[in-house]
């Protein structure tokens, strides 16, 4: 099994995906253990002094004015975890919780938090044992970190609360730790706070969304190319010299992908046949511009994610010169903004894909295709209601594109009077990515059927490869009406698993 070694200088997106989705094992580097020990010495020295230090010998948030005596400090750290583990609603996904815990461990190992090495090792041990704390949908405002979600994870470290075992069964965390031979942690000064104060949940969801959207945008380019082909459109609008005079990188990449898919097609170039068309509709002609803008948004979001992965987010932090200073680095605004940007871009990509699907099904705009791609229109409804489903998904994505980061609700008696809502932005983006996958799957389903209905014209070799792969995946071709949901589910699974890209690239070479 792949092993991820956590040092002091951050981790990569690939590390996050390996731990969250593939169950990779985690090891702490010697450098990280040394940094943890050195920072802990600083915290313990401050704890021994009579002067109050936030998070070490004081209360938290609006209660930071109270100095806590030494005999109550262990109780203080336990209490902050217990009181902050106040999430509600359905459980979030296992991969999200694993990413959340792993990213908190990454910051703990930076040497800026003052946590003991044994606490960090216990975090790694719990992840390696396949134990996943129960974390709930609601509770984070995305400022002072993802407090409630991280608190539920810290509760598991203490052997309290509920967690999911490696067998998928939810049980008391203490029982699961005992079976795995893991000793619960007794938290000391600063440690409870350090386990709660980060942007780890929203960052983990951003990293996973970026990975999913990278494949999905390539799949969307392929589906758009197949729709252009099925509509007998022109590929002249994809010429590199046209995109070079508006040099947005994403636009050029999308156009290049579509052109590569369409190479060798006998269906393109017929826009002057029959009733001549000067230009294709915007949904066909402007596909690279819309998908390309989304790709450039992905690139910006990836830059933000890389910076955040290299960050140590905590409050207060231990600095190399021995100071322990309060700060505002836990504010989730940088991550929240790009999560919202991605939801906007995804909604627009879904919208233009639905418009192409609708065009394929409309006999007045499809240039010779049967109504709704039906076998016997009137007796058969064809893909009429598949487009309804797609439209419903697009409508939801437009609602999900409303930014969460534009909102803020004050908390902690107005001490925390401006928050990012980054966790909420991440949660809705996950739904948007799911919906976009389904939308692309429906366009792909319609486009492949439409191409097969163009008798006497040979599609591009790459298009043929996609059609063959889709059919092999259980998505049926043209014919009389049948129970449609299984076909749509099979198309969704095909797109979700990266089947579109896998089918095309042996013909086209790597897509951009």
Residue 22 backbone phi and psi in degrees, to 5: -110, 0
- What pLDDT does 52 receive? 81
Half-sphere exposure for 68 (CA within 13 Å, toward CB): 23
- What pLDDT does 74 receive? 86
The conformational region for residue 14 under phi > 0 = left, psi -120 to 50 = alpha, else beta, is alpha
Portion of the chain with pLDDT greater than 90, in percent: 86
Helix 499-508 vs helix 485-496: crossing angle, to nearest 10 = 60
Catalytic residue among 54, 282, 337, 445: 54
Q: What angle do CA 35, 37, 39 make, to 5 degrees?
A: 70
Tens-place pLDDT, residues 437-484: 999 999 999 999 999 999 999 999 999 999 999 999 999 999 999 999
Q: What mean pLDDT do residues 105-133 have? A: 97
- What pLDDT does 272 receive? 75
- What pLDDT does 233 receive? 95
CB atoms within 10 A of CB 41: 12
Q: What mean pLDDT do residues 238-266 have? A: 98
- The verdict on whether 54 is a catalytic residue reads yes
Q: Is the pLDDT of residue 59 over 90?
A: no
Tens-place pLDDT, residues 154-168: 999 999 999 999 999
- What pLDDT does 48 receive? 86
Give the strand pairing for 136-138 and 162-164.
unpaired
CB atoms within 10 A of CB 318: 27
Output the DSSP codes for 261-320: HHTT-SSTT-TTSSS--SS--HHHHTHHHHHHHHHHHHHHHHHHHHHHHT----SSEE-T
Nearest to 154 by CA among 210, 193, 207, 106: 193
- What pLDDT does 72 receive? 87
- What pLDDT does 67 receive? 81
Work out the mean pLDDT of the chain and round it to a whole number: 95
Q: Is the pLDDT of residue 297 over 90?
A: yes
- What pLDDT does 269 receive? 85
128-132, 273-277, 344-348, 484-488: least confidently modelled range? 273-277
Task: Return the H-helix or E-strand segment holding 170.
Answer: strand 170-172
Distance CA(471)–CA(149), nearest Å, equals 42
Going by pLDDT thresholds of 50, 70 and 90, the confidence category of residue 103 is very high
Q: Is the pLDDT of residue 322 over 90?
A: no
- What pLDDT does 54 receive? 79
Output the DSSP codes for 5-53: EE-SS---HHHHHHHHHH--EEEE-HHHHHHHHHHHHHHHHHHTSSS--
Q: Is the pLDDT of residue 192 over 80?
A: yes
Tens-place pLDDT, residues 170-182: 999 999 999 999 9
The CA–CA distances, whole Å, from 252 to 194, 292, 297, 355 equal 45, 7, 14, 22
CB within 8 Å of 216: residues ≥ 6 apart: 433, 436, 437, 440, 495
Tens-place pLDDT, residues 196-249: 989 999 999 999 999 999 999 999 999 999 999 999 999 999 999 999 999 999
Half-sphere exposure for 340 (CA within 13 Å, toward CB): 18
CB 69 within 8 A of CB 189: no
Which of the two residues, 79 and 66, has the higher pLDDT score?
79
Which of the two residues, 371 and 50, has the higher pLDDT score?
371
- What pLDDT does 65 receive? 75
CB 313 within 8 A of CB 329: yes
Q: Is the pLDDT of residue 61 over 80?
A: no
Q: Is the pLDDT of residue 64 over 80?
A: no
CB 6 within 8 A of CB 124: yes
What pTM was estimated for this model as a whole? 0.96
Instruction: Determine the 3-state secondary structure of 377 from DSSP.
Output: strand
- What pLDDT does 359 receive? 98
Nearest to 445 by CA among 502, 483, 482, 484: 484
- What pLDDT does 144 receive? 82
Length of the chain: 512
Distance CA(443)–CA(223), nearest Å, equals 6
Portion of the chain with pLDDT greater than 70, in percent: 99
- The answer to whether the bond into 316 is cis (omega within 30° of 0) is yes
- What pLDDT does 166 receive? 97
Nearest to 202 by CA among 276, 295, 139: 139
């Amino acid at each position: 099994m792949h092993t991820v070694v956590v040092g002091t200088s951050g981790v990569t997106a690939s590390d996050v995906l390996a731990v969250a989705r593939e169950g990779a094992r985690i090891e702490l580097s010697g450098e990280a253990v040394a940094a943890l020990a050195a920072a802990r010495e600083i915290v313990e020295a401050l704890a021994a002094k009579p002067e109050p230090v936030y998070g070490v010998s004081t209360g938290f948030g609006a209660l930071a004015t109270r100095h806590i005596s030494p005999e109550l400090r262990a109780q203080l750290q336990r209490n902050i975890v217990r009181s902050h583990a106040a999430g509600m609603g359905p459980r979030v996904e296992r991969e999200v919780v694993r990413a959340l815990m792993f990213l908190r461990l990454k910051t703990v190992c930076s040497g800026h938090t003052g946590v003991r090495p044994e606490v960090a090792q216990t975090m790694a041990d719990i992840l390696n044992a396949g134990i996943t704390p129960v974390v709930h949908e609601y509770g984070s405002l995305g400022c002072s970190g993802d407090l409630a979600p991280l608190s539920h994870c810290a509760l598991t470290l203490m052997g309290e609360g509920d967690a999911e075992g490696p067998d998928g069964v939810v049980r008391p965390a203490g029982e699961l730790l005992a079976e795995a031979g893991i000793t619960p942690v007794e938290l000391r000064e600063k440690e409870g706070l350090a386990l709660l104060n980060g942007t780890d949940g929203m960052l983990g969801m951003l990293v996973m969304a970026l990975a999913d959207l990278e494949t999905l945008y390539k799949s969307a380019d392929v589906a758009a190319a197949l729709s252009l082909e099925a509509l007998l459109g022109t590929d002249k609008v994809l010429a590199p010299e046209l995109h070079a005079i508006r040099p947005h990188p994403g636009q050029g990449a999308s156009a290049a992908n579509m052109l590569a898919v369409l190479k060798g097609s006998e269906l393109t170039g017929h826009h002057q046949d029959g009733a001549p068309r000067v230009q294709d509709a915007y949904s066909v002609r402007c596909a690279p511009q819309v998908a390309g803008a989304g790709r450039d948004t992905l690139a910006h979001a990836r830059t933000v994610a890389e910076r955040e992965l290299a960050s140590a987010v905590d409050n207060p932090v231990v600095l190399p010169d021995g100071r322990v200073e309060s700060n505002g680095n836990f504010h989730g605004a940088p991550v929240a903004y790009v999560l919202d940007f991605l939801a906007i871009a995804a909604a627009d990509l879904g919208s233009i894909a639905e418009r192409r699907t609708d065009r394929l099904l409309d006999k007045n705009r499809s240039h010779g295709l049967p109504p709704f791609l039906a076998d016997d229109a009137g007796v058969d409804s064809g893909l009429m209601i598949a487009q309804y489903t797609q439209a419903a998904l697009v409508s939801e994505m437009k609602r999900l594109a409303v930014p969460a980061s534009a909102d803020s609700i004050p908390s902690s008696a107005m001490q925390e009077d401006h928050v990012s809502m980054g966790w909420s932005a991440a949660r809705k983006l996950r739904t948007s990515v799911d919906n976009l996958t389904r939308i692309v799957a429906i366009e792909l389903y319609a486009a492949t059927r439409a191409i097969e209905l163009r008798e006497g014209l040979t599609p591009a070799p790459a298009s043929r490869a996609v059609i063959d792969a889709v059919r092999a995946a259980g998505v049926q071709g043209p014919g009389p009406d049948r129970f449609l949901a299984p076909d749509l589910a099979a198309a969704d699974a095909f797109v979700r698993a990266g089947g579109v890209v896998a089918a095309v690239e042996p013909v086209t070479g790597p897509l951009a």
